[in-house]
Structure 1
Amino acid sequence: MPIFGNGALGGGNPPYFAANVAAGPRLIFALLVALLVANMTRAKFQTLSTVHSNSGVGRSSKVDRVMSEYAQNRTAHAPPPESTYPLNLKRDYDGSWSVAVNDTFPFGEAPDPEFAKQDLLFENPDGFASLNAENHPREKLGSDMHYVDGEIILRDGAYRTFRDVLIKVIGVYKVHEGIIMLVGDFLYEDNALHRLYELVSEQKGSWKLSEEAFADALAADLERQRDHYLGRGSKLGSHPVQSKCDFEAVFYIAPGHFSGTTPSPRELASHEGNNSEYIKMNGNITSKQCGTSAEIELATFDRETLFVKAINYTLLVTFVAFTQVLVLIRQMEMTSTPAGANRVSLLSVGLQTVSDSYLFLAHLTMGMFAQRFSTLFNAFAIAAFFKFIIFSIFEMRYMLMIWKARRPSGFSGGWDAMRRELSILYSRFYGSLLFGLIMLYRLQKYMRVFVFALYSFWVPQIFLSIIEDHRRPLHPLYIVGMSATRLAIPLYFLCCPRNFLHVRPQYMTGNWLMAWVAFQASILLLQHRYGARCLIPKRFLPEKYDYYRMLTEPAPQVERLGDVESGNLDEVVPVPGNHYRGKKGSIGYTGPRLVDCVICMTSVSLNGPNRMATPCEHVFHEDCLQQWMDEKMECPTCRRLLPPP
């Protein structure tokens, strides 16, 4: 089954750099092989030259023997003769289908995806089509006819929908005529071989096998395919939903020059029309039972364009991952203290961690499905690795910092208490991850709701800042960087019409998602600039202490008795002396009154524009006290608790 096959992946020449990234290892390998062959050829000619110069009577016989061996090897490795039609069909084909003239498909309301098997309830008169086929020679069928198995995919339009149809098919391939005849779905039908025999008999040409001999030749292949897809022991027709339409398909391959060997990856990747392994075919798929017919045009699947798109996507994911790591490190440095980490919402960081874990699983799954394409597998594996590093190392560590800041008692009671706290944190995280996966599977029809809920990761932080009146919990670079980078991947699939997965673009959903995340980020930036409760009317807020209130006299100078470094203060007593001083301590000065800021040990005006006064009437520079309160909410002078600014 072509995992990424589509007919609208786009033509044109791919970017030179991306194409060389995909072909780089192969080019180096080819150069090494060329050097090895050149050295071997030079050594052989040196041997011939030595034999020619040093041999006596038997010189000519040795030369003849060497030349004879060379001629035999050349004959043995000579390319096979060309044929008009390909001897090997093993590859993927993609193209389009369209309703035949004077015919229609049974349109109607879309059924549940589980029961949409191949009952063509399409809304569009044309769409994407693909074929994955592999032929096998069978002695009982003769040299001119091969057994074929594979699957046909029909989409309702150009993009993936839950109405997509996948038909398992078996058939035969007339090698010398280039005709492929298929019937499906054979998994739940007991007359598949009979219908195939009638389809082959309708074609022009000699046909010598009886129906019994034909069925005997393909019975083992049919049973093997059923066992492969249904599992051993399954009974015919045991599936609860069987197809209403029995499909028959006939394809005619355009004649050309084809080799009899298996195409190399480079040959299959080429999309040039004159390439020896590029196949074009057209045909039709019909159902006499349902009276439907569609014309299909297919060609060799263009892998090179897919590789370029997939590699460009992984480069995007890599850039996004590096950017997220940088802004996350900056945020962790800003909130490295327990007081700073306590202001960050654990739920906000947890939603981002769960989102990255889902992206890790998604990229890993895509890489497993694309493992037959080594280039795609490596690209998706790298993208999955970066997402794994982000959520398992950086974000989990940040969650642990926040958890420790909010529950300090759990990490100060010994190893058992710490282990218990870690178990609670990890069990909640992985439980949420598993619950989300189950809900995602059960509510596939509501994928948009799931995505919007997952991208509401700033909402818990907004409410936490309002409720607890936290000031500046997040760095602006972290807010903007995370909002922009987390939108990159969903917007690629929602707004890019030529994405490599061929998902139908949903521009309205993408615009609403972008607006929703931007709205959350804007509120956080407003809270960072004007305060956590800046958007709430003052009449609904409790009275708040004003750090910029006017003072008539500064607080008296105090001396703290006890161990100041450890914080064990026994007593606070006033120290006699001036409460304030004038400029340069001059007597009789009537200008601005100055006091000392105990944080930076410089003068600060008692009622100047850039000063803050605590409830205990100690005066500090605005910047000094702001930075101090980022670390701890207590007065630098008397150690009393401070209210939120």
Structure 2
Amino acid sequence: MNNPEAAEEGRETRPEDSPTPSAPRSGRSSVPTFLFISFVLFMLTNNRGEEIDARYRYMKALDLLNGQVADFSAWLHGSPSNFSLPPEDNLTMPLVKSFVDLGPVLDPTAGSYYTNLTGFWHGEVDFHNLTSLSANDSASTWSSSASEFVSRTNITQLPDLLGSWNWAATEKLSLSIGDKIVLNDTLPRYLSEDISIIHGRIELSEPKASEELSLDFDGIHFISNGSIYAFAETVQSRDLRVLPSLVPIPLLNDTACVIEAELAARMVRLKEKIDTGAIDQDALTDSDEPPKARCSFRFYGHLEPTEVPEDLMKQLEQETEKPTGIWTVRPPEMKLNGVLVSQDCGVLFNLKETTGLKSPQLYRKITTYAGIATIVHFILLRLLSRETTRINSATGLNRVSRYSFLAQSLIDAISFVGHITLGILADGRASLSALAPAGLACMLFINEAQFAVSIGQVQAPEDVTPPPVPPSVPSTNPPNPLPIEAVGTSVAAVPGAAQQAPAPTVVIPERPSFLRFLWNHIRTDPSARLWTIISLFLIVVFRIVILLSLPLFFVACMYSFVWAVQVYRSVRRSRGSGLSTEYLVGTTLCRLFFLLYFMGCPKNILDVEPRRWVYVVAMLMFAQLVTVLLQDRLGPTFFFLNRVVIAKSYDYHPLLPLPDPEAPEQTLGDCAICMDAIEVDPSLRRRSKSSDGKERGDLSVMGLAASAHRLSSTRMNYSLAPCHHLFHTACLERWLAIKNICPQCRRPLPPL
């Protein structure tokens, strides 16, 4: 123990004891610092490789486009070129003309066509399998043209080309079209203003499936006769230079000039993107999912003529694109007939009266809806704020059902996601206007969820049975005579230690895992349990929100039972809802606005088809509203005609024995809150002395009624808790407005 070398070594390691300065510490290793700096640099530049790859692919596409423009221009001007136009197809047009008339040029004073097709189109299609015609198709006049058309179809490749898509079940078609007239003054040839380039997407869908088959198309629109010629592909877009092979021979040269101008314009735009660095990496990313089909389609369409003269039609379209406030003719409905046919797959779709809506009209429609939706959401938020302020007490929160507000919060969560998605898809002011109802819906969701949590915290102990008060048993064991200082010393050294029991072994509990702790917290904490349920519901809703049928079914269920849970609680607790008529009626009408608009209006902004059952949901919601209102006025079980016995809630005002008439103070005791006496009306003495010294009772009817009235008023003056603590009713009401436990023993209290 007395080692001078060790002591000397210990003193040398303490710098404060050493008279000389301590040796400098060794520097930190450079390896962790190098790794940290490398990690930071990697996180800052980890997408540099993707940007370089995207830029390389853009440069490669630009080189390819330059070669295509050069070859096409050389072919167009009669110079030697590597490009050649496909030969004329004499089998397609006879089949197409059996379904659609590509239309003549109209008299400009009697009628006109729409000149700009930019917008969104929706319609129904009829499917025809040209490789195996049905009995009805075989009897048609176009069956012979169809047989000649599919004579070049390779039957052995059909399963691979048709893919997994259910062609026979396809019934709906949607088109998003971008239409523009190409004018380029630098080109030496004259460009016809009667021709415009169209591009966009065709989506085929079936009613019982959530997926769609998308086709990218590029085509030509002849304005004078309203005809459309286009190529549509499921895998990749076809070379734009082959479009002239679709049009009639007299229009081939003009079409080729427009194609040349369009290719030159695309080349300029692509070069600007490369120079400015505005490279869209997602546009170059190949999808990991295999295509549903590999069919190549040709689209032939024709606009239905209108009775609006050409000059008025131009004025109408100018006012639609750039509103100035002038009076124009009423816009006629845009309709399109057409044929979508594939020779390699042997299928044909007939488009019948596909209706369209111009993009500016749709965006103005979205803006109008967003304004109305903002007002409705603001009314809902105002009603909720007034109602939560009015019933924000333990007594009020015990009367309402938390699940009514939970259902409304989930509805508002779906509304928030839907309006945010609408704001992303819309353009310009329509996108900004959709953010206003989205923000209010988010605020509604948060407030309703918090209010549901508050209700759950108040109602959590209402079903808990208070444990019986254990009788106090005096302890017969004397206290431990051992002083604190004797703990840990020898037992024999302390007198009387032999009679003491050995000290218990201290067992350190095992620390629970995080998952077990989280599960116990969710299971025991009502607030955590409710938030977990809300989160799970939201996760499920957000995952299925892209499937239109499931969110509609979910919302319909929420609407159908939003007040039913309140009716059930009122019956179960034998108390009214406590909700104001203003809140019930206003909330119901505002909620029904969204339900009836999206599922009852045939021309809503999302183009959701009307559902007949929406009116059943509305009637059911109104029936629940009337039931809740009548429960507050006629009783919670009025619809049972009082024939159903409901378990009564705890009675805070039981009959208590009156104090002795000879006692100097007529009180029931002291209030456990304010500590003042709970007095009894002196007139409640059931016996009074007559003048002859004998006691007699007041047996008159009026006397008995007055005594009963005074007894009832006195009973309402006090409240006896289940734990047998006595309070003034007013004192207990003020206390229960803050906490739902006994102020003395801290046991849960039922609603007053």
**Could you tell me the TM-score, scaled by structure 2's length?**
0.51
Q: Secondary structure at the match of 2:246?
A: helix
TM-aligned CA deviation for residue 512 of structure 1: 2.2
Match of 1:457 in 2: 562
Matching residue's letter, 1:474: G
SS at match of 1:204: helix
- Check the 8 A contact 2:335/2:356 in 1, yes or no: no
Give the distance between the partners of 1:465 and 1:252, measured in 2 at CA: 60
Letter in 2 for 1:248: F
Instruction: Say yes or no: does 1:365 pair with 2:421.
Output: yes
CA separation of 1:297/1:519 partners in 2, compared to 1, >3 Å: closer, same or farther?
A: closer
Q: Which amino acid aligns with 1:338?
A: A
Matched, 1:402 2:455: yes
Give 1:377's aligned residue. Answer: 431
Q: Distance in 2 between matches of 1:481 and 1:641?
A: 35
Asked if residue 317 in structure 1 is aligned to residue 373 in structure 2, the reply is yes
1:219 and 1:285, CA in 2 relative to 1: closer, same or farther beyond 3 A? farther
Inter-CA distance 165–452: structure 2 relative to 1 (3 Å threshold): same
Q: 1:426-441 maps to which residues of 2 (within 5 A)?
A: 427-428=531-532, 431-438=535-542, 440-441=544-545
Q: Aligned Cα RMSD in Å?
A: 6.3
User: Bigger CA drift: 525-534 or 478-487?
Assistant: 525-534
| 1:537-581 superposed Cα distances (whole Å, 9 cap, x missing partner) | 86765577789999998997743666x584457xx7998955349
Write the mapping of 1:93-104 to structure 2, written as runs, cut at 5 A.
94=121
Deviates more, 1:85-94 or 1:246-255: 85-94
Deviation string, structure 1 residues 118-177 (Cα, Å, up to 9, x no partner): 9574448xx8766333455577895427883522547889x9996876532113467999
2:397 is the counterpart of 1:341: yes
Deviates more, 1:382-391 or 1:312-321: 312-321
Change (3 A) 1:464 1:369: same
On the 8 A contact 2:363/2:426 being kept in 1, the answer is no
1:630 and 1:357 mapped to 2: Cα distance? 32
Letter of the structure 1 residue corresponding to residue 284 of structure 2: R
Q: Distance in 2 between matches of 1:238 and 1:401?
A: 46
Residue 607 of structure 2, aligned match among 479, 499, 502: 502
Change (3 A) 1:268 1:165: farther
Does 2:177 align with 1:131?
yes
Structure 1: gaps (5+ residues) = 1-84, 106-114, 409-416, 597-602, 618-622
What is the alpha-carbon distance in structure 2 between the residues aligned to residue 522 and residue 281 of structure 1?
45
Choose from 460, 485, 488 the match for 2:593.
488
Residues 472, 377 of structure 1: alpha-carbon distance in 2 compared, 3 angstrom cutoff: same
- 1:490 Cα deviation (Å)? 0.6
Deviation at 1:282, TM superposition (A): 6.5
- The one-letter amino acid paired with 2:436 is I
Are 2:290 and 1:239 aligned?
A: yes
Q: Which residue does 2:5 correspond to in 1?
A: none
Instruction: Give how far 1:595 is off.
Output: 10
Aligned to 2:249: 203
Report if the CA contact (8 A) 1:253-1:282 is conserved: yes
Question: Tell me, what secondary structure is at the counterpart of 1:506?
Answer: coil
- In the TM superposition, 1:469-488 aligns within 5 A as 469=573, 471-477=575-581, 478-488=583-593
* Alpha-carbon distance in 2 for matches of 1:302, 1:241: 30
Cα deviation for residue 627 of structure 1 reads 8.5
State the match for 1:352 in structure 2.
Answer: 408
> Does the C-alpha gap of structure 1 residues 614 and 644 become closer, same or farther in structure 2, counting only changes over 3 Å?
farther
Contact 1:188–1:239 (CA under 8 A) maintained in structure 2: no
Aligned AA for 2:555?
A: V
> Contact between 2:413 and 2:442, CA under 8 Å: does it hold in 1?
yes
Shift of 1:308: 6.3
Q: Deviations over 1:320-373 (max 9, x none)?
A: 33443343244323422223224433333222122112212212321232233x
* Contact 1:141–1:214 (8 Å) recurs in 2: no
In the alignment, the residues of structure 1 paired with residue 414 and residue 450 of structure 2 have an alpha-carbon distance, to the nearest angstrom, of: 18
Please state how far the C-alpha of 1:510 moved relative to its aligned partner. Answer: 0.8
> Match of 1:248?
299
Structure 2: any 5+ residue segments left out of the alignment?
A: 1-111, 129-139, 147-162, 274-278, 462-520, 722-728
Question: Does the CA contact (< 8 Å) of 1:593 and 1:605 recur in 2?
Answer: no
Q: 1:314 to 1:286 in 2, by over 3 A?
A: closer
In structure 1, what residue type is equivalent to 2:118?
R
Q: Determine helix, strand or coil for the equivalent of 2:444.
A: helix
The alpha-carbon distance between structure 1 residues 135 and 624, as it changes in their structure 2 partners (threshold 3 A), is same
| 1:234 alignment partner AA | D
Q: 2:504 is matched with which residue?
A: none
| Corresponding residue for residue 167 of structure 1 | 215
Q: Describe the shift of the 1:482–1:630 C-alpha distance in structure 2 as closer, same or farther (beyond 3 A).
A: farther
TM-score relative to the length of structure 1: 0.58
CA contact (8 A) 1:134 1:150 kept: no
Q: Is the 8 A contact 2:659 2:666 kept in 1?
A: no
Whether contact under 8 Å (1:459, 1:520) holds in the other structure is: yes
Aligned residue for 2:440, secondary structure, equals helix
Report what 2:667 is aligned to. 559
CA distance in 1, matches of 2:647, 2:459: 25
Contact 2:571 2:637 in 1 (8 A): yes
3-state SS, counterpart of residue 349 of structure 1: helix
CA contact (8 A) 1:95 1:298 kept: yes
Report what 2:199 is aligned to. 150
CA–CA distance in structure 2, aligned partners of residues 474 and 153 of structure 1: 54
